[in-house]
Amino acid sequence: MRHGQVDYAVIDRWLEEDDPIYAHPRDPYHRVDVRSSSRHVTVRHGGRVIAESRRPKLLFETRNPIRYYLPFADVRIELLQLSDTVSECDVAWSLPHPLPEGIAAAEHVCCYPGKVNIDVDGQPITEWPSGSRRPERSLSCPRLRQQCAPSYRSLRRG
């Protein structure tokens, strides 16, 4: 069997079908899907409701737990303090400039379970299950930092 060598210096661009690829080809074994839902999602901190929605977007990503993105209109943004950074340590984040697979979650906010209390249809969502990757190494933050801002580092008192 002969093996060839690719001269990457002569390649002017990569394509996946007719779409240009700017970073690297997608991993065919890693999927990201966003689906509309009518589940009742409530986010609380210290007993105070921060967000409540019956129209979340559910983000499914290979080897990660489901993440619940809530429309900005259903989140009490005034209770969140905007962060200057894009950090996995923050309470919540959004995707203002998502890649194509995350576009349906744009203009929504997602919160970390463990930093706040999240109930879905009355059932609590706990910390990330064992064996799953934390979201800081996934679509949400900060692997693709350019798409993950603003984030919210804490809750305002009051």
**Domains in the chain, please, with CATH?**
30-155 (2.170.150.40)
Q: Measure the N-to-C terminal CA separation of the chain; round to a whole number of Å.
A: 71
CB 32 within 8 A of CB 60: yes
pLDDT reported for residue 145:
33
Q: Using the predicted structure, report yes or no on whether residue 7 has a pLDDT greater than 70.
A: yes
Cα–Cα dist 66/59, whole Å: 6
pLDDT reported for residue 98:
80
E runs forming strands in 13-98: 14-16, 19-21, 32-36, 41-45, 48-53, 57-61, 67-71, 80-82, 92-94
pLDDT reported for residue 88:
57
pLDDT tens profile 16-36: 778 777 666 677 788 888 999
Percent of residues, the chain, with pLDDT higher than 90: 30
The stretch 118-143 carries a mean pLDDT of: 60
pLDDT reported for residue 153:
57
155 HSE (CA, 13 A, CB side): 19
CB 90 within 8 A of CB 77: no
**pLDDT band at 1; cut points 50, 70, 90:** low
**pTM for the full predicted model:** 0.71
Residues 6+ apart with CB under 8 A from 106: 94, 95, 96, 97, 98
pLDDT tens profile 107-122: 999 998 888 999 999 9
Cα–Cα dist 102/32, whole Å: 7
pLDDT tens profile 53-101: 999 999 998 888 899 999 999 999 888 887 766 655 678 888 877 878 8
